[in-house]
Every structure is written in C-alpha cells, then in structure tokens.
Amino acid sequence: KKKLFIDADTGVDDAQAIMVALAAPDVEILGITCCYGNTPLENVLTNTLRVLKACNRLDIPVYRGCSGPLLANRRHAGDYHGKDGMGDAPDPDAPGLELLQKKRGIPAMVKIINQNPGEVTLVATAPLTNLAVAVQLDPSLPKKLKALYIMGGNTDSRGNTTVCGEFNFVADPEAAHIVLDRYTCPTYIAPWEFSCRNSLPWSFCENWLSQNTEKAAFMRKITSLSMKKAQSADYQKEITEGKGFNSCDSYAMAAAIDDTFITESEEVAVTVELVGKYTRGMMVLDYMELLNKKHKAVIMQNVDLERFKQMFMNSLK
Ligand code: BDR
C-alpha cells in the first residue's frame, strides 16, 4: 500500500482531497497534521474530524499543528470556504476535539516519517508552516521521504489572493521558501493555473453530487457556498483559464495517489519571492538556472481529466 501523510488546512477542497485519498485502493493514510490556513486552526481541527466521520474513518490520527505563519500576518480564506472553512453549514453532531491525538503534530509527523524511511509520500495542501518547522526539527527529514506533493504557488504573475500571489504561498512565504529550499526529495507542485486549466465541468459536478449516498449529501452541504462563489463574477477575475469547479488540493492528492495522473509537466528549480511590495509570496521559476539550485521540482501542467472524474465519483460512493 502507498503510505500517505497529509498536512491540511481543511477547507472545502482539502476535504475533497482527503475523501479522494480515503476512497483510493492501495492507499494507507498514516496521519493528518492540521495547519491554520483557509480558516483558524480550531476550525481546521473540527473540519478534519468531520470529514473523517463522514467517511467512517475516525481511526486515522489527526494532530494539531501550527496556528499561524512564521513571520507573515495571519490570513484566512473565509470568503470562499466560509467562516468555518467548510461552507458555513455547521454540523451539530460534529466530533469533539477530544478525538485529536494528544501528541503534538509536528514531532508526530517527523516520527512517523522516520519510522517508515523512504516510504512516506507527504501531501501538503495548506500553507507550508508545519513542513518548515518539521525540517528545522529534523533536517534529515526530506531524505527519508519518498516524495512531496504540494498544492501552492502560481506560474504567472496573476495571483488568487494578492495581485501576484497564490493563497498557500502568500499565507506563509518564509515557510514556502524554507520548504522549497530544504526538501530535496522528489517534489511535485500543483500550482494555481494548473488547477484552473484542469477544472471540473459544472455538468460533471452535478452528477458527482447527485449520487444517492451520505457522503454525497455531506459534500453537497459543505461545497454549496464555494460553488456559488466559484460562479460569481469576482471569482472569475482569479481564474486564469478554464471554466468549472477547481478543487485545487485534490490535484496534488490525485497525483500523489496515481503516478499516471499527470500527463504533462516540466522540471524547474523554484523558490518564492520574500520582499516584493506586490510580489511577496509569488513563486519564482528559475528557467535560466541563474540561482544555481541543484534541486528541481516537477511543475504539473495537465492531467488525465477522465481519471480525475473517476476518482471524484468514487470518493462519494
Ligand atoms: C489554495 O488555497 C486554499 O484556499 C485552497 O484550499 C488551496 O489549498 C488555492 O490557492
């Protein structure tokens, strides 16, 4: 079985990504660390437990991670994900935080990766704060990973959060910088434009959510706000290309699960702008190799959309 460890700021698309992973055959989720991001950490913890409960998988350990960025001002994405991070459709029976692991998240992540050297694929769908702290705690951590999959960054100058920046990188540019510098394991990045380009047609989404299952009812409830937002004129300003529902985090997850999912990609050394007035948090791609970085990341460009649809359908069965 493929061993995944997930770092999430459970939000709507994180929830979708986690459900895609839960439904995948031959995948074992070793744990989930939570990070502030789409919504404050306390909501992220509850949301993650809600997703696991909806899938009857509360056996998967959930850990508390960082509640704010290393240096940046804290920001959230309540406009899109809802104030509670999951569509402001509260569940009175949401699992309580007593179900969380008592151990602190980042040391637990480090320990689990160390116990399975070369076997763990780390999937990061949040600001990269937890991963940055983890590598400070154990500088040899990247060598012990099988691979790292990140949803974050943008490949052109149009952001979705600041003028030029994508949410996960803008939320903690220093953390993104540390991670892109220090994680020298095979690294795959699902940037913003890539997810726009490969968005799911609305007609497909209707079929996906119309499945007659409890999981589909849960998904419909938590997704309806963000779907409305995604069809609004304001959101269209963020979209670089493609039309449809953009479950950004699920692309990183699908790629981590299925090696054949990515049909086009390029390898390039990447870093993050830390100081620009307008460009802080923007991903920098070093095509001319002027930065002399040995480590290159795989930047995803296109996917097998039919495969993606299949994974999405299965996630609600
Ligand atoms: C990223 O930011 C968040 O809003 C999403 O969950 C995704 O991880 C997209 O920029």
pLDDT digits 0-9 by tens, 246-292: 999 999 999 999 999 999 999 999 999 999 999 999 999 999 999 99
Say yes or no to pLDDT of 231 above 90.
no
pLDDT-derived band at 92 (thresholds 50, 70, 90) equals very high
Say yes or no to pLDDT of 239 above 80.
no
Q: Is 187 helix (H, G, I), strand (E, B) or coil?
A: strand
Q: From 209, 244, 241, select the one nearest 316 (Cα to Cα).
A: 209
The number of beta carbons lying within 10 Å of the beta carbon of residue 300 is: 27
Are 51 and 12 in contact by the 8 Å Cβ rule? The answer is: no
Q: Is the CB of 153 under 6 A from ligand 1?
A: no
| Spacing, Cα 249 to ligand 1 middle (Å) | 7
Say yes or no to pLDDT of 300 above 90.
yes
Q: Of these residues, 9, 13, 249, 258, which one is catalytic? A: 9
pLDDT-derived band at 209 (thresholds 50, 70, 90) equals very high
| Spacing, Cα 10 to ligand 1 middle (Å) | 10
> 267: part of which helix (H) or strand (E)?
strand 262-268
Quick one: average pLDDT of 199-209?
A: 95
Say yes or no to pLDDT of 81 above 80.
yes
Q: Is the CB of 167 under 6 A from ligand 1?
A: yes
Q: Is 262 helix (H, G, I), strand (E, B) or coil?
A: strand
9 tagged catalytic: yes
Say yes or no to pLDDT of 238 above 90.
no
The pick from 123, 149, 249, 272 for probing ligand 1's pocket by mutation, whose C-beta has the most ligand atoms within 8 angstroms, reads: 249
| Spacing, Cα 248 to ligand 1 middle (Å) | 6
| Spacing, Cα 210 to ligand 1 middle (Å) | 25
Q: From 169, 104, 170, select the one nearest 137 (Cα to Cα).
A: 104
Q: Note the pLDDT of residue 235.
A: 76
Atom of ligand 1 nearest to the CA of 125: 8
Length of the chain: 317
Q: Is the CB of 193 under 6 A from ligand 1?
A: no
Quick one: average pLDDT of 200-217?
A: 97
Tell me which residue has its CA closest to atom 10 in ligand 1.
167
The pick from 7, 151, 195, 247 for probing ligand 1's pocket by mutation, whose C-beta has the most ligand atoms within 8 angstroms, reads: 151
Distance between CA 69 and CA 231 in Å, rounded?
Answer: 30
pTM: 0.97
Tell me which residue has its CA closest to atom 2 in ligand 1.
167
| Spacing, Cα 114 to ligand 1 middle (Å) | 28
| Spacing, Cα 193 to ligand 1 middle (Å) | 12
Q: Is the CB of 249 under 6 A from ligand 1?
A: yes
Atom of ligand 1 nearest to the CA of 13: 6
Mean pLDDT, all residues of the chain: 96
* Cβ partners under 8 Å of residue 140, min gap 6: none
Q: Note the pLDDT of residue 163.
A: 95
Say yes or no to pLDDT of 241 above 80.
no
Over residues 143-201, the pLDDT tens digits come to: 999 999 999 999 999 999 999 999 999 999 999 999 999 999 999 999 999 999 999 99
